[in-house]
Amino acid sequence: MQKFNAKVGFDAYLQGVVIFQFQLKILEQLLLFCGEKASVNLILTVNDANLDYLDYLDIYSRFITSAKKVTSAKEEQTESVIPTDVETYEEVVDFMNEVEKQFRKTLWREQTVNLAFREYLKGHALPIT
């Protein structure tokens, strides 16, 4: 976490966007893995006792086609289904690109008033798009 904070500082916006991008990259890699394994769906299962984790998965909600409660002898869980087809993969990549584009615009626009943005830009050499 110290390395993360060193890269983005303690700016809440920077931290949020970098984590958001990281989560999207994870989803992209999961979809690629599922494609290699010829899986039709990616199923994310969260124990309802750990509902805090659902906030972390909220980023994936735009790609979830169904969600249902599943009860086992021990606990209740929520299973969320994301298709692993080419369309979904392309939607994820398009969304990643849009998030990156908006992130860059915000950084460039606000760098004059936000030192953390300016430092982030210096360290990451993001071109203007």
Q: Does a structural domain hold residue 125?
A: yes
pLDDT score for 1: 47
Q: Does a structural domain hold residue 97?
A: no
pLDDT score for 30: 97
Token look-up 């086992």 returns 72
Share of the chain above pLDDT 90, in %: 47
Residues facing residue 79 across a β-bridge: 45, 68
pLDDT in tens, 22-75: 999 999 999 999 999 999 999 998 887 766 666 667 889 999 999 999 887 888
**Residue ranges in the chain assigned as alpha helix (H):** 2-8, 12-36, 52-57, 86-110, 115-124
Same-domain check for residues 21 and 47: no
Q: Does residue 5 register a pLDDT over 70?
A: no
Same-domain check for residues 17 and 45: no
Same-domain check for residues 2 and 32: yes
* Pair 93, 28: CB distance under 8 Å: yes
Average pLDDT over residues 103-124: 87
Domain that holds residue 123: 1-39+106-129
